[in-house]
Chains A and B, each alone.
Chain A
Amino acid sequence: MTSKTFRIWKRGFRDGVPVLLGYFAVSFAFGIQAAGLGITALEATILSLVNLTSAGQFGALSIIASGGSCLTLALQQLVINLRYSLMSASLSQNVNPKLSTTKRMGIAYGFTDEIFALSSMYPKPLPPIYTVGLMSAAVPGWTFGTLLGAALGQVLPGRVTSALGLAIYGMFIAIIMPGIREKRSVRFAVLAAMGAMILLNYCPGLNLVPANFRLIIVTVIVAFAAAVIAPVPDEDEESGKEAAG
């Protein structure tokens, strides 16, 4: 590793420290929840290490706990994590077009909302080692947070675990708020999605739709409707990219 490469890695690692702390808190809550469903600390830790996705992992717990099918799980992950393909597509515009396939495949493992947001703010062309630096901070935070949550979570007082239950939702709100602030169409889309979920959960008849499919159905229909009614203009691509982080 040349000294310049090391410097960029170090900058990535430093920028990634706040992400590390945030991930630690959220994955701690994930570990607690997983352990509560009978998943061992080892299983939960490996699950976090190989998936590295907050929303997807929390969503998967309900399917795993209820013994759902692998196809349901795969479909659910596809829909919940589809946003990563947008981020991946977006970052494809930031890296050097000549960047090797191997390096693209390597940094892709770390594409989360936060790593994407920080990577996309780096001056183009994005050096992959910067994203590796971010991952070097974020991945241990996510993995060890899960381990400690799963191993020690049960000994925490019920009040503490109850409070930590909100961490993931605080993170979700923080992720979508920039788009909600800046774009009316995003505000409407989010409200429509929430309204549709409330209907599917509580409306007699509609609540017959299996819980595992509600999110999939709502996401596809609302996002497609929004795309048709309020397509994102071309010149918006730069600001849209940041908002998506």
Chain B
Amino acid sequence: MRTSIWIYIAVMAAVTYLIRMIPITLIRGKIRNRTLRSFLYYVPYVTLGAMTVPAVFHATNSVISAAVGLAAALVLAYKKVSMILVAAFACAAVFLVELIPNLPV
């Protein structure tokens, strides 16, 4: 791993930059293909949703604290609280729940 970490970094940086750069550089008119446009529209929601569940339940020391943190994030985001505060309060909720001794892992 030690020898190739810079290669990993270079590969992911190149892919990520090209994804960001190519559309705005090439597209100088409106995208007309409806399915392509719709597909791209759904991608962020689907990816971020799939990255969150079930991974979030293993993100903290206990599945209980993670569930409470996730619930806090859902409620706050639903109430249109800003992104920073959603993240901060979700972390705070985890911290508070983990003060309870002997939580299941």
Contact B20 A163 (CB under 8 A): no
The answer for the CA separation of A49 and B36 in the assembled complex, in Å, is 31
| B31 contacts across to A, CB distance below 8 A | 89
Provide the bound-state CA to CA distance between A164 and B69, in Å: 10
A-B contact pairs, 8 of them (CB 8 A): A70-B11, A74-B12, A166-B94, A167-B87, A167-B88, A170-B91, A174-B86, A193-B50
Task: Give the distance in Å from the alpha carbon of A96 to the alpha carbon of B2 in the complex.
Answer: 45
Q: Chain A residue with minimal CB distance to B12?
A: A77
Interface residue total, chain B, C-beta cutoff 8 A: 76
Mark contacts of B72-102 with chain A using CB atoms, 8 A cut-off: 1 yes-contact digit, 0 otherwise: 1110111001111011111111110011000
Say whether A226 faces chain B, with CB atoms less than 8 Å apart: yes
Q: Which of A56, A191, A197 is B54 in contact with, Cβ under 8 Å? A: A197
Give the distance to chain B from A93, nearest Cβ to Cβ, in Å. 7
Distance (whole angstroms) from the CB of B12 to the closest CB of chain A: 5
Interface residues of A in 13-34 (CB under 8 A from B): 18, 21-22, 25-26
Determine whether the beta carbon of B21 is less than 8 Å from that of A108: yes
- Known contacts A67-B1, A196-B50, A215-B50; is-contact A85 B87 (Cβ 8 Å): no
Contact size range, A? 35 or more
Give min CB distance, A133 to chain B, whole Å.
Answer: 18
Q: Are B42 and A81 in touch, CB under 8 angstroms? A: no
State whether A85 touches B20 (Cβ < 8 A).
yes
CB pair A197–B42 under 8 Å, yes or no, is no
* A88-B19 CB under 8 A given contacts A169-B90, A189-B46, A219-B46: yes
B24 and A95: CB pair below 8 A? yes
Partner of A176 from the list B11, B39, B48 (CB cut-off 8 Å) is B48
Question: Chain B: which residue is nearest A194 at the CB level?
Answer: B53
Partner of B19, one of A64, A81, A104: A81
Given known pairs A89-B40, A166-B94, the reply for A222 and B46 (CB within 8 Å) is yes
Q: Are B50 and A84 neighbours in the complex by a CB distance under 8 Å?
A: no
Spell out A's residues near B (CB within 8 Å): 18, 21-22, 25-26, 38-39, 43, 46-47, 50-53, 55-60, 63-65, 67, 70, 73-74, 77-89, 91-93, 95, 97, 101, 104-105, 107-109, 111, 113-114, 158-160, 162-177, 179-181, 185-186, 189-194, 196-198, 201-202, 214-215, 218-219, 222-224, 226-228, 230-232, 234, 237, 240, 244
**Contact indicator A158/B61 (Cβ below 8 Å):** yes
For residue B44, CB closer than 8 A to chain A, the reply is yes
Determine if B27 and A92 form an interchain contact, defined as CB atoms under 8 angstroms apart: yes
Q: Which residue from B6, B46, B61, B99 sits with its C-beta under 8 Å from A193? A: B46
Contact of B12 with A159 in the complex, beta carbons under 8 Å: no
A174–B83 contact, CB under 8 A?
yes
B24 touches A166 (CB 8 A): no
What's the least CB distance linking A28 to chain B, in Å? Answer: 11
